[in-house]
Amino acid sequence: MVSDPIGDMLARIRNALMAGKASVDMPKSKIKIEIARILHEEGYIESYTVGEETPVPFIHVELKYYGPRRMRRPVITNMTRVSKPGRRVYRGSTDLPRVLSGTGIAIMTTPRGVMTAAQAKRERIGGEVLCYVW
């Protein structure tokens, strides 16, 4: 059992990118599917699929790289977990974070679902900041 499933997801993606892997698998949960959806919409990953295998359903994430084959670099430079199980971080609608002056994204969970900080700012709602991606 994992005490921080979102942190585990970010660590799996980070490790696969450092190893140059094309894809990574992880156990499925609703919040992980939403995070993968946001990463796909923002262009940080190629695609994701949700498998209903037994005994453990999984999410298959295709990672994204740029550059020629020998010189390819991952699109995701870094991912950091902000709100942890031991210390939750909440932000109001007026003080939402900007990651690297707008070049990265902050993923948050709000009363209207999981979204980026830019979307939450447009809808004028706050919530829990899950992670930063750049």
Q: How many CB atoms lie within 10 A of CB 42?
A: 15
Residue 88 has pLDDT above 90, yes or no: yes
Residue 1 has pLDDT above 80, yes or no: no
d(CA 110, CA 96): 12
Q: What is the pTM of this model?
A: 0.94
- Per-residue pLDDT, 54: 78
Of the options 3.40.640.10, 3.30.1490.10, 3.30.360.10, 2.30.110.10, the CATH number for the domain spanning 5-133: 3.30.1490.10
Q: What is the tens place of the pLDDT at every residue in 36-50? A: 999 999 999 999 999
31 — pLDDT class (breaks 50, 70, 90): very high
105 — pLDDT class (breaks 50, 70, 90): very high
Higher pLDDT, 70 or 8: 8
Q: What are the residue boundaries of the structural domains of the chain, listed by start?
A: 5-133
Residue 18 has pLDDT above 80, yes or no: yes
- Which of 1-5, 34-38, 43-47, 107-111 has the least mean pLDDT? 1-5
